[in-house]
Amino acid sequence: MSAPECRIVIYWTLVAADGEMLSCDLCRNSDGLHVRCVSDTGDVVFTELVASATEAMETATAWKQLYLGEHHWSEHRADGSPDIRSHPVKPRTVLEQRLDDRGTIRRARRAG
């Protein structure tokens, strides 16, 4: 039985014109570090073992460009707003993303 995966960083999430979502993250398991793209149904689309965080970022960036080049994929942000940043931003850890989501949920509850 293999050890469970530990997700370290979510690099990006894309959404297709038909609503399908795809995310790319860095995980660690008993085999080591690997980058994977996972659909919203939980199917692993791509996975690749990597030796370092730098190699992982390069792989995630290449995969992202592959999907964005297809024109029916776009960036997805947790708050639903379009991603209009012109400069790269370092990926946030899962904890940072969850903390941001909690703040968004709290603001929505207070407004409602």
Q: How does residue 87 score in pLDDT terms, banded at 50, 70 and 90?
A: very low
Residue 70 lies inside a defined structural domain of this protein: yes
Q: What is the reported pLDDT for 38?
A: 92
Q: How does residue 1 score in pLDDT terms, banded at 50, 70 and 90?
A: very low
Give the range of the structural domain holding residue 31, as residue numbers without chain letter.
6-111
How many domains, in total, are found in the chain? 1
Residue 1 lies inside a defined structural domain of this protein: no
User: What predicted TM-score, i.e. pTM, was given to this entire model?
Assistant: 0.64
More confident residue, 100 or 43: 43
Let me know: does 44 contact 7? Beta carbons within 8 Å. Answer: no
Task: Read off the pLDDT of each residue in 5-17 and give the average, rounded to a whole number.
Answer: 86
Smallest CA-to-CA distance from 59 within 32, 41, 51 is with 51
Strands (E), the chain: 6-16, 21-29, 32-39, 44-49, 73-75, 92-93
Q: How does residue 25 score in pLDDT terms, banded at 50, 70 and 90?
A: very high
